[in-house]
């Protein structure tokens, strides 16, 4: 018979990751860090928190082993500890979508009506990229694009899209993508493009899901 105390300690350790993620701001941080490494100041701006609060949450994630940290000069940079953390976040999100009451309504309150937006799957986009008849638009912030993006994608952060529409090739359909299924940037890009008469789709989820399913990616040094 195993030692009950040892068993309890084992399961407590196995639950540590779940305890670390049992906070909405920390879940947001994991969602942003799934795009690539970021300094703490940028992470604070992304989740609309003070640097002090963001640092506190990052220390909790660091203690649990979900993120890693490096220093460069006076700045601290954080990244996911491994692809397993992105998989954990995706699984947690999927379970919530399946079982948490009211989640669909909360998503609609945040994302708005998506029923009028055309969507393209990852596999469809892969095939269109091979055919070379689609324009891929990455509307995430520049640091996330540099950390990793879909091959051939052009980078126009969503806040600059209106003024830079002339940079989007008029010769084909456009597929916009951003951080994942709960990111509003791609939705907004599709609406802007459609308002200017451009046929546009949003990718069904985002860059992390594209990468986790083994599709090719590019990075900038």
pLDDT at 77 over 70: yes
Task: State the pLDDT at residue 221.
Answer: 64
The domains found in the chain, sorted by start residue, are 4-89 (1.10.10.10), 109-212 (3.40.250.10)
Digit-coded pLDDT (tens) for 27-76 = 999 999 999 999 999 999 999 999 999 999 999 999 999 999 999 999 99
What is the three-state SS of the chain?
CCCHHHHHHHHHHHCHHHHHCCCHHHHHHHHHHCCCCEEHHHHHHHCCCCHHHHHHHHHHHHHHCCEEEEEECCEEEEEECCHHHHHHHHHHHHHHHHHCCCHHHHHHHHHCCCCCCCEECHHHHHHHHHHCCEEEEECCCHHHHHHCECCCCEECCHHHCHHHHHHCCCCCEEEEEECCCCCCHHHHHHHHHHHCCCCEEEEEEEHHHHHHCCCCCECCC
Determine the pLDDT at residue 34.
Answer: 96
Read off the pLDDT band of 143 (50, 70, 90): very high
pTM over 0.85: yes
pLDDT in tens, 188-204: 999 999 999 999 999 99
What local confidence, expressed as pLDDT, does residue 47 receive? 96
- Give me the pLDDT at residue 209, please: 96
How many whole angstroms separate alpha carbon 27 and alpha carbon 164? 32
Residues with a catalytic annotation lie at 178
> Tell me: the pLDDT tens digits for 2-28?
788 999 999 999 999 999 999 999 999
pLDDT tens for each residue of 100-129: 999 999 999 999 999 889 999 999 999 999
pLDDT of residue 2: 74
């Amino acid at each position: 018979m195993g030692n009950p105390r040892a068993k309890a300690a084992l399961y407590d350790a196995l639950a540590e990751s779940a305890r670390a993620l049992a906070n909405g701001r920390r879940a947001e941080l994991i969602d942003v860090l799934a795009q690539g490494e970021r300094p703490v100041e940028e992470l604070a701006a992304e989740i609309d928190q003070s640097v002090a609060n963001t640092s506190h949450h990052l220390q909790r994630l660091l203690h649990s082993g979900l993120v890693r940290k490096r220093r460069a000069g006076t700045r601290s940079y954080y990244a996911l500890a491994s692809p397993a953390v992105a998989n954990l976040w995706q699984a947690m999100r999927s379970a919530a979508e399946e079982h948490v009451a009211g989640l669909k309504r909360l998503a609609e309150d945040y994302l708005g009506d998506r029923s009028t937006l055309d969507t393209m799957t990852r596999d469809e986009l892969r095939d269109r990229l091979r055919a070379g008849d689609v324009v891929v638009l990455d509307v995430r912030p520049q640091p996330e694009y540099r950390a990793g993006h879909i091959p051939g994608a052009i980078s126009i952060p969503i806040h600059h899209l209106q003024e830079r529409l002339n940079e989007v090739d008029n010769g084909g359909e456009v597929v916009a993508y951003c951080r994942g299924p709960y990111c509003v940037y791609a939705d907004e890009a599709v609406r802007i493009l459609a308002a200017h008469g451009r046929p546009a789709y949003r990718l069904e989820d985002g860059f992390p899901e594209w990468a986790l399913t083994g599709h090719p990616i590019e990075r900038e040094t």
